[in-house]
Structure 1
């Protein structure tokens, strides 16, 4: 079973800024169309801005003709409970032998394009294969939401207009270029398009015509989709020909207070503490890495190399990011991780109770949503240190009771 392909769009830190968005922001005397209010008034405001930015009225009318709000988009936006699952359950939910086998077949089928990606950007094919698998199940499920309507609906909704509103104008520019059909282009509910699910602004900035047909077609051309995804990862900071994640083992009784994405140490320091690769040697010895314990010191353990940080530019869910990075290592030949025997986690309601108790102690955990996000993990780790518990950032019933 796949993840909804557009979950990452909502969790992205920001949409990439395009030349078009900058032009709109700088247009003299141009009023910014507000979110909310009457929908038709909102559309008229968008049209006025597009015309003021230099688009012919016929192009603007053609793009917005038939536009409509999509209540299914808003329902999908508010129903993202999949990320409440812990890493072991979540990764087993997404990764199957069938998905691995198909990934290996895709690697052979598109060996030429992956070879070009590795030569041009230094990004291992396994990384792109993992994104391709999780976003659209290798292109099989790209979403059936009308992209223009989804973007307009989310921009009109006042939760994140700054993220989605610029994407409307990026889609308009793709339409002007002949690479977007307003009433026919479909994708994920958050406006992403194609096999690796890219927003219109990202397509404008990083789209590559890898198959040479004169168009960037991410829905039907695997070559275009994979090369475009690679170019985007490179732009986000991927370090060529370097690893991203490696499973490790911990010595008994190790101080785990320095675990977590926020702390980096040289490989020599981790080695001196007794951290060791589960198989072979360290993937990279002359760099810093972070120790990740997604379900505490009794569960799986990984060292995350600098490239792992790039995953958070694609998606901000720790569980999703770690699963995607781990799946890429599996596609590259790594063993199934050692699940260990982690302490039982908290239910959604218990997590909310924990978050409220952490807030009462002055910790910023963000929204009380029952999701173990970065702020909640950090607060848990601080309280574990204060209470003399293993500070692995994994919340347990014992911690909940202690608070």
Structure 2
């Protein structure tokens, strides 16, 4: 009797289930089960998959407590990059040299890039998260902040379960549902999973070759340009026009060189385009971001995380420690929220008022700096806050 009732419910809700969130959690799970059957999954498998699904309040707490991303780049980078992580990165580069050779040949992604993700996401596989993945995904899909992101991941996890590569009761990972050594969501595993060790399965939690090759394939699919650089520290000349900095300004490398931009170590990559970024304003460090840098934002939306991961990748491949210089003091979390509130009151779209200096906030800061006759570098300071 269970199959007809589930199928009828599936047919009724299939058209609108994707928009559902909130309400009774048990009814929400019932809607997921109905949608799964409507998508063609066997009712028995669906029942077994969702049998242990439960709401996890710790997931919501973690989702709302990402204060680490409020830190400025230099502090964030110093916190994440240690000599131990550098040493272990270089050791893993040697240990999996053949795997990295294959990744570079097939996907064009340099080993430093994947080593940096591997380090930051799970400390080279040592800390992969202990949140039940199904519960995390269902909890976040039920929450109405970003259901459109997490609901499809539930059905991807169901497909992995049908393949024998996911256990709804025991598979664990990060609070946001990512699994394995380089933390990939179920849909990304389905699309980009690679059996790197030849055992017939894609096991990102226990197989470094599987995890690294899958990560390389995913980056290639996101638009990584084979064999090209992604980030380089630069030195800017006296009198530089700071309004030209930021990801919104892209120029040929030759044009940047003509303006006096030079590499701090080595030479600029000719024949490409790039953007000059100054994460802590005109008195702080400076980098040239090449086209591959933008692919990082498909992996993570945090500017400070992306820049730190990209920089660490260059360090793993021999770049020197960046020159932090002497940036002006920035804003602490509550100050940043106050700034964002003032910017919103002036008609700017800064996204969420969360105390995190994201791209929208930087863009609004630039507009206000220009209006007030300040240096237009996108770096909010206590002086700017006071003037607003």
Query: What TM-score results when the alignment is normalised by the length of structure 1?
Result: 0.91
Q: 1:36-51 to 2 correspondence within 5 Å?
A: 36-51=22-37
Cα distance in 2, alignment partners of residues 369 and 65 from structure 1: 36
Offset of 1:294 from its aligned partner?
0.3
Is residue 5 of structure 2 the alignment partner of residue 32 of structure 1?
no
The question of whether the paired residues in 2 share the 8 Å contact of 1:255 and 1:390 is answered with no
Query: Match of 1:173?
Result: 159
Secondary structure at 2:243 match in 1: coil
CA deviations on 1:110-143 (whole Å, 9 max, x unpaired) are 0010010011111110000000000000000000
Is residue 147 of structure 2 the alignment partner of residue 161 of structure 1?
yes
The question of whether the paired residues in 1 share the 8 Å contact of 2:13 and 2:31 is answered with no
Query: Match of 1:352?
Result: 337
Offset of 1:401 from its aligned partner?
2.2
The question of whether the paired residues in 1 share the 8 Å contact of 2:250 and 2:273 is answered with yes
What residue ranges of structure 1 are gaps of 5+ in the alignment?
1-25
Cα distance in 2, alignment partners of residues 122 and 28 from structure 1: 46
Offset of 1:157 from its aligned partner?
1.3
Is residue 230 of structure 2 the alignment partner of residue 244 of structure 1?
yes
The question of whether the paired residues in 1 share the 8 Å contact of 2:13 and 2:35 is answered with no
The question of whether the paired residues in 1 share the 8 Å contact of 2:281 and 2:378 is answered with yes
Cα distance in 2, alignment partners of residues 236 and 204 from structure 1: 15
The CA RMSD measured in Å over matched residues stands at 1.4
Cα distance in 2, alignment partners of residues 264 and 37 from structure 1: 46
Query: Match of 1:18?
Result: none
Secondary structure at 1:171 match in 2: helix
Kindly indicate whether structure 1 or structure 2 has the higher relative contact order, using CA contacts under 8 Å at least 6 residues apart: 1
Cα distance in 1, alignment partners of residues 137 and 344 from structure 2: 34
Secondary structure at 1:303 match in 2: strand
Cα distance in 2, alignment partners of residues 360 and 160 from structure 1: 25
Cα distance in 2, alignment partners of residues 395 and 111 from structure 1: 43
Query: Match of 2:252?
Result: 266
Q: 1:220-299 to 2 correspondence within 5 Å?
A: 220-282=206-268, 284-299=269-284
Cα distance in 2, alignment partners of residues 224 and 201 from structure 1: 16
Offset of 1:46 from its aligned partner?
1.4
The question of whether the paired residues in 2 share the 8 Å contact of 1:196 and 1:225 is answered with yes
Query: Match of 1:3?
Result: none
Cα distance in 2, alignment partners of residues 32 and 148 from structure 1: 22
Secondary structure at 1:143 match in 2: coil
Is residue 29 of structure 2 the alignment partner of residue 71 of structure 1?
no
Cα distance in 2, alignment partners of residues 57 and 197 from structure 1: 29
Cα distance in 2, alignment partners of residues 27 and 325 from structure 1: 46
Secondary structure at 1:225 match in 2: helix
Cα distance in 2, alignment partners of residues 184 and 349 from structure 1: 39
- CA 115–90 in structure 1, closer or farther in 2 if over 3 Å, else same: same
Secondary structure at 1:307 match in 2: helix
Is residue 311 of structure 2 the alignment partner of residue 319 of structure 1?
no
Aligned mate of 1:334, from 319, 328, 332: 319
Cα distance in 1, alignment partners of residues 385 and 137 from structure 2: 40
Aligned mate of 2:103, from 77, 94, 117: 117
- CA 29–394 in structure 1, closer or farther in 2 if over 3 Å, else same: closer
Cα distance in 1, alignment partners of residues 28 and 351 from structure 2: 31
Q: 1:62-101 to 2 correspondence within 5 Å?
A: 62-101=48-87
Offset of 1:96 from its aligned partner?
0.4
Query: Match of 1:376?
Result: 361
Superposition misfits of 4+ residues, deviation over 4 angstroms = 26-29
Query: Match of 2:122?
Result: 136
Is residue 205 of structure 2 the alignment partner of residue 219 of structure 1?
yes
The question of whether the paired residues in 2 share the 8 Å contact of 1:264 and 1:289 is answered with yes
Offset of 1:28 from its aligned partner?
8.8
Count how many residue pairs are aligned between Structure 1 and Structure 2: 377
- CA 100–400 in structure 1, closer or farther in 2 if over 3 Å, else same: same
Decide which moves more: 114-123 or 362-371. 362-371
The question of whether the paired residues in 2 share the 8 Å contact of 1:27 and 1:53 is answered with no
Query: Match of 2:292?
Result: 307
Query: What TM-score results when the alignment is normalised by the length of structure 2?
Result: 0.95
Cα distance in 1, alignment partners of residues 49 and 55 from structure 2: 15
Cα distance in 1, alignment partners of residues 165 and 333 from structure 2: 43
CA deviations on 1:255-303 (whole Å, 9 max, x unpaired) are 1101001110111221121111001211x11111000000011110000
Query: Match of 2:195?
Result: 209
